[in-house]
Amino acid sequence: MDALEQFKELERLAAGNNLDADEIRLYLLLLANCRGSRSGQIAFTTIKSAIGREFSPARLEKACKRLFMTKLVVVTSPFPESVNEETFIFSYSIPASGKS
């Protein structure tokens, strides 16, 4: 994955006011978490710790839908109907430069 291409795509989308601050923070966290690969898993507690205590599973799902619509993130495991915040592990992939 070319990180510079990913950041340019993020900059383009953020400049167009398509993403809010939490969505940008989430994307950067996911990008950093996958450590050079295009996929990763991250505990919801880690996401909440990084983004803020008020960040809920519902907000995560909404942010992921928006990141998917902008072709930045693909959720690779479905969201359960009821999320246990302490044990939920989020699985995702980051498409190569805006492709899904």
pLDDT of residue 79: 83
Q: Note the pLDDT tens digit of each residue in 12-33.
A: 766 665 788 889 899 889 988 9
pLDDT above 50 for 39: yes
Other C-beta atoms closer than 10 Å to the C-beta of 19 total 20
* Strand partners of residue 41: 91
Q: Give the domains, in start order, of the chain with CATH numbers.
A: 3-95 (1.10.10.10)
Longest dimension (CA), the chain: 36
Rounded to two decimals, the pTM is: 0.80
Q: Note the pLDDT tens digit of each residue in 50-79.
A: 999 889 989 999 999 999 988 889 999 888
Q: How far apart are CA 23 and CA 39, in angstroms?
A: 18
What would the two tokens of residue 16 be? Answer: 């167009």
pLDDT of residue 5: 72
Other C-beta atoms closer than 10 Å to the C-beta of 25 total 17
